[in-house]
Amino acid sequence: MPEYGYFLSCEEFGPAELIEQARMAEQAGFRALWISDHYHPWNDAQGQSPFVWSVLGALSEAVSLPVETAVTCPTVRTHPAVIAQAAATTAVMTEGRFRLGVGSGEALNEHILGHVWPPASVRLEMLEESIQIMRRLFTGEEVSHHGTHYTVENARLYTVPDEPVPIDISGFGPAATALAARVGDGYITMMPEASMVEQFRKGGGGAKLVSGGTKVCYGTDRDEAVRTVHRLWGNQFLPGELAQVLPSPRHFEQAQTLVTEDMVRDKAVCGDDVDEHVAALSAFADAGFDRIYVNQIGPDQRGFFDFYRTKVLPQLTQD
């Protein structure tokens, strides 16, 4: 039976709110946490973007749940040697309850220092090399590396966990999924597609952890919930590679004008129909996921956690 976790949104909430949501998630019966790692929100309506590593430090004291970044890009904005230090320290502070979720990133967050935003194939090369560097650093040994994309000289992490930090790789297409299967400690994807899980497992992933997540908007007024999703998260309904290549929240706001409330109503879980919420998460379980994370869109966090504690999680976790 899969475990169910809560997905903390750094794009929509500030640090204090995220910590309180984590506490409520643990009290409601969620078994794990995801947390996003962004420099910018997707649009100004979301309105936040705290530094994830600071929030993770607070989470290590606030809750006892496992926590994972979903996901960090260790390639452009931040050098993998720096991410390795941050991840190792977080793993020590959480007593081994931290996993590092990584992906090839989005221009929205990664272009801010003026570097060229590479095509997807190059980004995957960079991601693989960065994982090699981080794994070597997690040993606590001195590392020097002169590779295609990165240079590391005489770097050593002195604060490291007893076991190396597991690195899960995000993949939404065949190439990234193949990389996850070949070198990842686990696989992350956001659609309940059994074919992608099968590709990962047959491509070398075997029985390693497969995690997925989705967003919902609980509320007693379904139309109001639809409007909330449309206003805050219309970006998630944009097609193709737009999420990877648009450079600023302003551009996402321009693209979101193509998303209608009817599109949200047809595609998003909105309202307080228990069966609808259960079905959305069960789709991931049916596709073979091991951990399934859900995020509540909008301000009614306490209502969401009460709803899931009393009505949704009991159905999902019953034998």
Q: Give the residue-averaged pLDDT of 9-25.
A: 98
What is the dihedral sign for C-alpha 120, 106, 34, 54? positive
Q: Give the residue-averaged pLDDT of 122-133.
A: 98
Nearest in space to 63 (alpha carbons), one of 88, 34, 101, 100: 34
The mean predicted confidence, pLDDT, of the chain is 97
Dist. CA 154–CA 300, nearest whole Å? 49
Query: What is the per-residue pLDDT across 161-190, written as a single tens digit (0 to 9) for each?
Result: 999 999 999 999 999 999 999 999 999 999
* Helix intervals (H) in 29-79: 52-62
Q: What percent of the chain has a predicted confidence (pLDDT) above 70?
A: 100
Dist. CA 190–CA 211, nearest whole Å? 8
pLDDT attached to residue 318: 83
Examine the pLDDT at 304 and tell me if it is beyond 90.
Answer: yes
Q: Give the residue-averaged pLDDT of 28-50.
A: 98
Examine the pLDDT at 43 and tell me if it is beyond 70.
Answer: yes
Q: Give the residue-averaged pLDDT of 132-146.
A: 98
Q: Is the pTM of this model over 0.95?
A: yes
Query: What is the per-residue pLDDT across 260-302, written as a single tens digit (0 to 9) for each?
Result: 999 999 999 999 999 999 999 999 999 999 999 999 999 999 9
The answer to whether 38 is a known catalytic residue is yes
Among candidate residues 106, 110, 128, 129, the one labeled active-site is 106
* Cα angle, residue 6 at apex, residues 85 and 82 outer, rounded to 5°: 10
Contact 211, 197 (CB under 8 A): no
Examine the pLDDT at 6 and tell me if it is beyond 90.
Answer: yes
Helix (H) or strand (E) holding 8: strand 3-8
Q: Give the residue-averaged pLDDT of 238-243.
A: 93
Examine the pLDDT at 319 and tell me if it is beyond 70.
Answer: no
Dist. CA 184–CA 86, nearest whole Å? 19
pLDDT attached to residue 247: 97
Dist. CA 217–CA 297, nearest whole Å? 5
Nearest in space to 236 (alpha carbons), one of 210, 263, 212, 272: 263
Dist. CA 107–CA 12, nearest whole Å? 19
Among candidate residues 26, 38, 40, 230, the one labeled active-site is 38
The answer to whether 17 is a known catalytic residue is no
Q: Give the residue-averaged pLDDT of 301-311.
A: 98
pLDDT attached to residue 313: 98
